[in-house]
Amino acid sequence: MLKLPIAHKLNGLYRTHLILPCRAMSTANTGSNMPNHLTDTLPTSAIPVFTTLNSLRAWRRKASDDRRTVGFVPTMGALHDGHLSLVNHSLANNDLTVVSIFVNPTQFAPHEDLATYPRTLPRDLELLSALSYTVEDSEGNANTARERTPSAVFLPSVQEMYPSGVSQQVSTQKGTFVEVKGYGEQMEGKSRPSFFRGVATVVTKLFNAVEPTNAYFGQKDIQQGLLLRRLVRDLLLSHPDPEHLHILPTARDAADELALSSRNVHLSPAERHFAPALYAALKAARDYWDAGHSKDDTVKVALQSFEKSRQDFAGEVDVRLDYIDMNDVETFDVVDGNATSAAGKPIILSGAVWLGTTRLIDNIILGDDGTIIG
């Protein structure tokens, strides 16, 4: 069993020492965020870092006793401005904010990029420590204003999150897993068959650990956010309930509108230059859809736009389009080819592309997104 971390506060900074029994050394640590040596320590942080469920729950019990609201931003680390915008939103709307950093092995297929997924823990903690939100009193008096900063980081090991052990190969997994039947095989699930099983499992665990009042996800992973809303509704979760699972707009590069992603760091200069072509194709399709054209013709416009960009970069970038399509926001089923915007129902227009060995995704909500985003 992992012992509780000892958090030492020195000059306002926390250094958490990990006390691990020797038997933990033999456990497969695939995708772990934790140091592997008994004497390793985490980077110094201005924010308390909890590495065990027991220590996090002790903190959470006090928050409950104090009647504090808790916002939660689950991440896999390698934080960028998109993550930080979610954290800032939580700071503005909750008494306390927890950020988890956990590279979840069960949402990666054996052939996917688990081993090379970027891990930047020292920088992640620095970025989080720099965030703050000013809360003024009801009369806007600056003298009584107070600063909210991230309250805690949950940094569990793979062993802590999967006490029965874990394998990336679904057929060899043992233990308890969560699957949202009928909603994880379309869109991203079609290209990544075990992805949403892994997401649903780890987020259920994280919700049970943190018990958030509000949880925050980005629109870039729109199917994930909508699937998780269904999960918390179907499993009758109260922390959060469906109304308090928030999907916020995709954060984009100010210069070329590329969706921010931890995987962007893997792009070569030429790939990075080409990468905004996917969003440009989706925007061209949105304009065509809004003009009253059919779904099939709208998707053709997106494909034509993307192909033109690919031709412009011929020989410079290895481009493989995975998909561009339009899907129902409730069922994720592909929209009928004759459908038009006249129906008035929100539609997901999304796509995925491989640039070399890096896979990028993006989406636009067609129609009124007020019931989806926010």
> Which residues have a catalytic role annotated?
83
Strand-pair partners of 134? 147
Instruction: Determine contact, residues 139/94, Cβ cutoff 8 Å.
Output: no
Q: Which residues of 284-316 are buried (b: 16+ CB within 10 A; e: fewer)?
A: bbbebbeeebbbeebbebbbebbeebbeebeee
User: 3-class SS at 35?
Assistant: coil
DSSP structure class, residue 360:
E
Do residues 284 and 305 touch, judged by C-beta distance below 8 A?
Answer: yes
Show the tokens assigned to 267.
Answer: 């792009």
β-pairing, 6-10 vs 13-17, is: antiparallel
The edge-to-edge listing of strands for the beta sheet with 245-248 is 49-50, 152-154, 96-101, 70-75, 214-218, 245-248
Q: What are 307's two structure tokens?
A: 């192909």
Q: Residue 25's beta-bridge partner residues? A: none
Question: Residues 144, 137: contact at Cβ < 8 Å?
Answer: yes
E strand or H helix at 148: strand 146-148
Distance from the Cα of residue 313 to its chain's centroid: 30
Look up tokens 């997901």; give the residue: 348
What is the DSSP secondary-structure string of 266-332? G--HHHHHHTTHHHHHHHHHHHHHHTT--HHHHHHHHHHHHHHHHHHTTTT--EEEEEEEEEETTT-
Rounded CA-CA distance 44/122 in Å is 8
